[in-house]
Chains A and B, each alone.
Chain A
Amino acid sequence: MNQRPALDLSALPTFGHGPRSPTWWGTLGFMALEGTGFALAAGAYLYLATLWPNWRLSAPQPNHWPGTIVTLLLIVSLVPNHILNGYAKQCAMRPVRIGMVVMSLLGLAPLIVRWFEFPALNIYWDTNAYGSMLWVLLGLHTTHLITDVGDTIVLMVLMFTHHGYSGRRFGDVGDNVFYWDFVVLTWIPIYLLIYWLPRLG
Chain B
Amino acid sequence: MSSADLTSERDLPPEREASAKGDVAPERDGPRDTGMDDASLHRWLTRTWRTPPGIIGALSSVDHKVIARRYLITAFLFLCLGGLNAVVMRIQLSGPRRGLIGPDLYNQLFTMHGVTMMFLFAVPIVQATGIYLVPLMVGTRNIAFPRLNAFSYWVYVSGGLFAWVSFALSMAPDVGWFAYVPLSGPEYGPGKRADVWAQMITYTEVSSLAVAVATIVTIFKQRAPGMSLDKIPLYVWSLLVTSFVVVFAMPAVMITSTFLILDRLVGTHIFNPAEGGDALLFQHLFWFFGHPEVYIIFLPATGMVSAIIPAFARRPVFGHLGLVLSLIAVGFLSFGLWVHHMFATGLPKLGASFFTASSMMIAIPNGVQIFCWLATLWDGRPVIRTPLLFVFGFFFIFVIGGLTGVMLASVPLDLQVHDTYFVVAHFHYVLIGGAVFPLLGAAYFWFPKITGRMMSERLGRWHFWLALIGFNAAFFPMHIVGLWGMPRRVYTYPAELGWGNINLFITAGAVLFFLSFVLFAFNLIHGALKGAPAGDNPWDAGTLEWATSSPPPSYNFARIPVVTNVEPLWAEPQALPVATGLRADVRELLISTVAEAHPDIREKSATPSIWPLLAAIAVGGTFLYSIFTPWAIVWGAAPIAVTLIGWFWPKGDPEDEE
Are B34's CB and A8's CB within 8 A?
yes
Q: Assuming the A-B contacts A16-B591, A21-B601, are A40 and B285 also in contact, with contact meaning beta carbons closer than 8 angstroms in the complex? A: yes
A25 interface neighbour in B216, B269, B284, Cβ under 8 Å: B216
* Chain A binder among B14-22, B56-64, B337-345, B522-530: B14-22
User: CA A112 – CA B275 in complex, angstroms?
Assistant: 31
Chain B contact patch, size range: 35 or more
Residue B347 is within 8 A (CB to CB) of chain A in the complex = no
B14 interface neighbour in A7, A19, A33, Cβ under 8 Å: A7
Residue B450 is within 8 A (CB to CB) of chain A in the complex = no
Are A6's CB and B577's CB within 8 A?
yes
Residue B221 is within 8 A (CB to CB) of chain A in the complex = yes
Are A6's CB and B578's CB within 8 A?
yes
The dominant DSSP class at the A interface is helix
Residue A73 is within 8 A (CB to CB) of chain B in the complex = no
**Separation in Å of the B24 CB from the closest CB of chain A?**
5
Contact with B along A160-179 (1 / 0, CB 8 A): 00010111101000000000
Residue A182 is within 8 A (CB to CB) of chain B in the complex = no
User: CA A127 – CA B269 in complex, angstroms?
Assistant: 8
Contact with B along A120-144 (1 / 0, CB 8 A): 0000011111111101100000000
Are B255's CB and A129's CB within 8 A?
no
Are A9's CB and B14's CB within 8 A?
yes
B577 to chain A: which residues have CB within 8 Å?
A: 3-7
Are A2's CB and B17's CB within 8 A?
no
B504 to chain A: which residues have CB within 8 Å?
A: none
**Separation in Å of the B198 CB from the closest CB of chain A?**
15
**Separation in Å of the B451 CB from the closest CB of chain A?**
19
A8 to chain B: which residues have CB within 8 Å?
A: 3, 6-7, 14, 34, 579-581
Are B575's CB and A44's CB within 8 A?
no
* Chain B residues numbered 178-214 whose CB sits less than 8 Å from any CB in chain A: 209, 212-214
* Chain B residues numbered 244-271 whose CB sits less than 8 Å from any CB in chain A: 247-248, 250-252, 254-255, 259, 262-263, 266-270
User: CA A168 – CA B255 in complex, angstroms?
Assistant: 34
* Chain B residues numbered 561-607 whose CB sits less than 8 Å from any CB in chain A: 562, 569, 574-582, 590-591, 593-594, 599-604
Residue A26 is within 8 A (CB to CB) of chain B in the complex = yes
A22 interface neighbour in B267, B547, B580, B591, Cβ under 8 Å: B591
Residue A34 is within 8 A (CB to CB) of chain B in the complex = yes
Are A170's CB and B24's CB within 8 A?
yes
* Chain B binder among A47-55, A75-83, A103-111, A186-194: A47-55
Q: Enumerate 18 A-B pairs (CB-CB under 8 Å) in ascending A order.
A: A3-B575, A4-B576, A7-B599, A8-B3, A8-B7, A8-B580, A14-B604, A15-B20, A20-B593, A21-B601, A25-B221, A33-B213, A47-B284, A57-B276, A92-B23, A128-B275, A136-B259, A168-B657
Chain A contacts to B: CB under 8 angstroms: 1-16, 19-22, 25-26, 29-30, 32-34, 36-37, 40-41, 44, 47-48, 51-52, 57, 90-93, 125-133, 135-136, 150, 154, 158, 163, 165-168, 170
